[in-house]
């Protein structure tokens, strides 16, 4: 007899990932953000990028990027301006408010992660991180 699917590592990984994702979404929601916004902002920090470059860095497609930047611009977290070098491109820059929003989001996410991993000891968390990272870089 086959072992129950829901006792297997693969299934557990899928479920745990979904659970973690929901937690993180829930933490960002009160800030009016979603994961993708945070990832895009993180990418913008320190330097300006074209939308194209942001797409490559984050893996979002360009139509999604338009919507994300619309959101960020509307909240005053980012600004778009035409590139003088290539007028097809938009130079996207992070505002001070955007930087502050990122810090707040990063803190909230770190707290949520801390709570999520709380059942494990420090050593076990390191183990988990190592195993997961290796799977992701090797398998994925």
Partner DNA sequence: TATTGTTATACTCTATAACTATA
Partner DNA sequence: TATAGTTATAGAGTATAACAATA
Q: Which of 28, 33, 41, 69 touches DNA by CB under 7 A?
A: 69
Which residue spans within 1-124 are E strands per DSSP? Answer: 49-50, 78-82, 90-94
What residues contact 22, with CB distance under 8 A and at least 6 apart?
none
**Pick 97 or 115: Cβ nearer a copy of itself:** 115
Site string for a copy of itself, 49-88 (x = CB under 8 A): ----------------------------------------
Phi, psi of 77, deg, nearest 5: -95, -15
Burial-class residue 75 by CB neighbours within 10 Å (0-12, 13-18, 19+). Answer: middle
Distance separating alpha carbons of residues 59 and 84, to the nearest angstrom: 26
**Pick 17 or 32: Cβ nearer a copy of itself:** 17
Give me the residues that bind DNA (CB under 7 A), please.
50-52, 55, 61-66, 69-70, 80, 86-90
Give me the residues that bind a copy of itself (CB under 8 A), please.
2, 4-6, 8-21, 24, 38-39, 42, 103, 106, 109-110, 112-113, 115-120, 124-125, 127-129, 131-136, 138-140
């Amino acid at each position: 007899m086959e072992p129950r699917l829901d006792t297997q590592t693969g299934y557990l990984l899928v479920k745990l990932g979904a659970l973690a994702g929901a937690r993180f979404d829930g933490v960002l929601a009160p800030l009016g953000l979603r994961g993708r916004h945070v990832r895009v902002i993180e990418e913008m920090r320190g330097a300006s990028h074209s939308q194209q470059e942001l797409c490559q860095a984050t893996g979002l497609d360009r139509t999604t990027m338009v919507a994300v930047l619309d959101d960020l611009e509307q909240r005053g977290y980012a600004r778009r301006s035409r590139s003088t070098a290539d007028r097809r491109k938009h130079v996207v820059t992070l505002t001070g408010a955007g930087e502050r929003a990122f810090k707040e989001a990063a803190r909230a996410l770190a707290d949520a992660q801390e709570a999520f991993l709380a059942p494990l000891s420090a050593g076990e968390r390191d183990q988990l991180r190592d195993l997961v990272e290796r799977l992701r870089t090797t398998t994925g």
